[in-house]
Structure 1
Amino acid sequence: MPDVITTTDDADLAHLVDLIDMLPDPEDTAFWGDGDFSIASKIGHRLRAVLGGRAYPKDVDYLAVYVLKYLGRGNGHIPEERIAKHLTGAHGIPAAGYAWVEDATSTAWTLVTRYSLPNWRGPRTPPGRAWLPQG
Structure 2
Amino acid sequence: MIGNVAWPKPDVFREVRGNRTTSGHDDGVNTPTNPDPDLRHLTDLLDFLPGPDDREFWDLVDSGQDLPLDGLTDALNVLRDPAPHDGRIVHLAEYLMAFFDREGPELVELLDERLRRLDLPTVALGRHWISDLTATCWRLLVRYNADGSWAKKWPESNYVRPTRGRS
Aligned with residue 24 of structure 1, among 41, 45, 50? 50
| Post-superposition offset of 1:86 | 2.0
Aligned to 1:3: none
Aligned to 1:98: 127
Q: Measure, in 2, the Cα distance between the counterparts of 1:21 and 1:40.
A: 17
- The answer (yes or no) to whether the contact 1:85–1:94 under 8 Å persists in 2 is no
Q: Measure, in 2, the Cα distance between the counterparts of 1:61 and 1:126.
A: 23
- The answer (yes or no) to whether the contact 1:46–1:63 under 8 Å persists in 2 is yes
Task: Name the one with the larger helix percent.
Answer: 1
| Post-superposition offset of 1:117 | 3.0
Aligned to 2:108: 80
How do residues 1-135 of structure 1 correspond to structure 2 at under 5 angstroms?
Answer: 7-8=30-31, 9-33=35-59, 39-53=68-82, 55-74=84-103, 79-87=107-115, 89-90=118-119, 93=122, 95-118=124-147, 124-126=149-151, 128-129=153-154
TM-score, with structure 2 as normaliser: 0.58
In structure 1, the gaps of 5 or more residues are 1-5
RMSD: 3.2
Deviates more, 1:100-109 or 1:23-32: 23-32
In structure 2, the gaps of 5 or more residues are 1-28, 158-167
Q: Measure, in 1, the Cα distance between the counterparts of 2:151 and 2:85.
A: 25
Of structures 1 and 2, the larger Rg is shown by 2
Q: How many residues align?
A: 120
TM-score, with structure 1 as normaliser: 0.70
| Post-superposition offset of 1:49 | 2.8
- The answer (yes or no) to whether the contact 2:93–2:137 under 8 Å persists in 1 is yes
- The answer (yes or no) to whether the contact 2:75–2:95 under 8 Å persists in 1 is no
